[in-house]
Chain A
Amino acid sequence: MEEIGKIVKITFHLFGYNITVNTETIIMSWIIMAFLMILSLILYKKASLIPNTLQTIIEPLIEGFDKLVKDTLETDDRKYYALITALFIFLFLCNIIGIIPGCEEPTKDLNTPLGYGIMGFVIAHYSGIKVKGLKKYLSEYLQPFFIMAPLNLIGELAKIVSISFRLFGNIMGGSIIIIVVSHLVHNLVLPPFLYAFFGLFDGTIQAFVFAMLTLVYITLQVKE
């Protein structure tokens, strides 16, 4: 039971500051990134008109996301499609890597979801300024009255907290429930089903929700 809430980290001194590195999170993220890069290289090299097995699995996913992003943004512009698809695939692998023994989910650490939440926030507001112009962008904070400006500002900042805490809480809560119930039943029959629910099912849905909400935030800024 001691492993609940434990994060493996290294602290070292540099220029008078204490710098803490969460080693397990970073190593797991790098493993997933390397896996995705190798997979995409293989798929890119082997892409053909008559698809092989791997291409058959990946193609409907990519096509589905392409259609989804087009329908939501209502343009034929493919600017944001790569971002949303990559975000979903990366977070999906992050969430389900916990079913491999000895691997920890990188999303179990708050820093990972918070980083991607801030990334989505910055991209949404940057594209909002680029599309609408700075004056129109700033004037939207004064809707419907100018008194509402602080509330609008807090509402925008709360989006980061809500999107990142949702992913973190789901994965963290799932892993704690798995540890506690496995301890209660002495690691007998039950844990594989718990991994199937909290790892595969919940992980897929939460990764999709994260990608969809990022897309919705971008849409709110980009569209008139």
Chain B
Amino acid sequence: MQISGKEIIEAASLLGAGIAMGLGAIGPGIGEGFAAGKACEGIARNPNEAGLLTRTMLIGQAVSESTGIYSLVIALLLIFVV
């Protein structure tokens, strides 16, 4: 069976999508864990402000998640468009 150039491109784009998503998920994972840990420290020091701290933490996590979302968009483009 002969492997054509188009099949190699398809395989490479699927591989690239997997690598992009896997590497892109490292940064947001570390960042969100850091934010959650600091929020836990804050709540332990000042339990009265737990609601405000949780809200701020969620917003910060959603913003720091954006690099992971960009890699998700790139992976989707590689799978469905290439």
Contact = CB atoms under 8 A, between A and B. Distances in A.
A46 interface: no
Contacts of A205: 58-59, 62
Contacts of B35: none
Interface residues of B, number: 12
Chain A at the B interface: SS class: helix
A169 B70 contact: yes
Interface residues of A, number: 17
Contacts of A168: 73
B72 interface: yes
B72 A208 contact: no
Interface string B49-70: 0000000001100110110011
A149 interface: no
B76 interface: yes
Contacts of B58: 205
A65 B66 CA distance: 24
A166 B76 CA distance: 14
Contact of B63 (A173, A176, A209): A209
Interface in B8-48: none
Nearest to A162: B66
A173 B72 contact: yes
Nearest to A166: B66
A205 B76 CA distance: 22
Contact of B70 (A4, A165, A206, A209): A165
Interface of A: 4-5, 162, 165-166, 168-170, 172-173, 176, 205-206, 208-209, 212-213
27 contacts: A4-B80, A5-B76, A5-B80, A162-B66, A165-B70, A165-B73, A166-B62, A166-B63, A166-B66, A166-B69, A168-B73, A169-B66, A169-B69, A169-B70, A169-B72, A169-B73, A170-B65, A172-B72, A172-B76, A176-B76, A205-B58, A205-B59, A205-B62, A206-B62, A209-B59, A209-B63, A213-B63
The 8 closest A-B pairs by CB, nearest first: A169-B69, A166-B66, A209-B62, A5-B80, A169-B73, A173-B72, A205-B62, A169-B72
